[in-house]
Amino acid sequence: MQFRTLGKTGFKISEVSLGTWQLGGKWGTPFDPKDARDTLEEAYDQGVNFFDTADGYQDGQSEKAVGEFIKNHPDVHYTTKIGRKEMPLDIKHFDPAHLARYVDESLQNMGTDSLDMVLLHCPPMMNYYMPETFFEMDKLKKEGKIKNYGVSVERVEEGIKALSYNISAVEIIFNMFRLRPADLFFDLAKKNNVGILARVPLASGLLTGKYTADTKFAPEDHRTTNRHGEQFDKGETFSGVDYLTGVKAANELKQRLGTDNLAAMALRFILMYDAVSAVIPGASNPTQIERNTTAADLPAFTDEQMQIVRDVYDKYIKNPVEYLW
């Protein structure tokens, strides 16, 4: 495992880290504390030292599991996200009173006096023009309740606007099916010493290359219920790519890259960008951890392989995805 610096935090974090959206159970299934503990431990054993959670994941159970884990592993770092557990999402959820309450609740869930990193969880665009949102985070940092803060975003423009404030990191969707962040935003983030966490790196599983036209998902799975943005921004489900189009594109990537392990290659592709501090694939059980961490051991992409990704993106994905996010 290699390590990279997470922006202004100075944290040296594993370039393949762990997102905990599905920790302890897949989307819509009951939370399993033992699976959660075993998954975190396996990740740690594989060299992962950074974990991404949120107050809304599994109704706070994810935060509690990560909090228990860090008590036994004080050498690890983490971020939690706030502002999205009360739906429908509204700009008021990011006003000073709500943010102060959310931070206190996360402190309680995680059993700590100060949080390593807090990300605002996909605020509406209007919040980026409400400086009191970010000034409250500065206040909480000064009080010692949080050590660092940043934002998790849907759109490139939100990330660019966030750079106006005293943020340390931006979490953004970036993968073989979502290339636009690398065009401008990555350079701007580097110039501002802001770390980048690449979320949804496998496009909700499309980039494992294992799905077919006949693949079925559980009734409560967001891949069933959010195909068109019924629950939240559709760009988070399959990266906004039409499902059947994504299956075709993934199959072509497998064929042209000559691999049966597209998932690991998709993660390794993201690590080709030095602006990325870490990629944060999820895992619902320990057996999925090795699939993720082996990506760090793969050789760098050749120029030809990088061009193949771009060719497939231009052929299947760019229109309309690039113009929406």
List the pLDDT tens digit at each of the 325 positions of the chain.
999 999 999 999 999 999 998 786 666 677 888 888 999 999 999 999 999 999 999 889 999 999 999 999 999 999 999 999 998 889 999 999 999 999 999 999 999 999 999 999 999 999 999 999 999 999 999 999 999 999 999 999 999 999 999 999 999 999 999 999 999 999 999 999 999 999 999 999 999 999 999 999 888 888 888 888 888 889 889 999 999 999 999 999 999 999 999 999 999 999 999 999 999 998 877 888 888 898 989 999 999 999 999 999 999 999 999 999 9
Choosing among 3.20.20.80, 3.20.20.100, 1.10.3300.10, 3.40.50.10540, the CATH entry for 3-205+257-301 is 3.20.20.100
Structure tokens of 92?
């008021």
pTM, two decimal places: 0.94
Using CA atoms, how far apart are residues 84 and 66, in angstroms rounded to an integer? 18
Judged by phi (left if over 0) then psi (alpha if -120 to 50, else beta), residue 36 lies in alpha
Report yes or no: 275 and 250 within 8 Å, Cβ to Cβ: no
Work out the end-to-end distance of the chain between its first and last CA atoms, rounded to an integer number of angstroms: 31
CB-neighbour burial class of residue 298 (10 A; exposed 0-12, middle 13-18, buried 19+): middle
Domain residue limits, the chain: 3-205+257-301
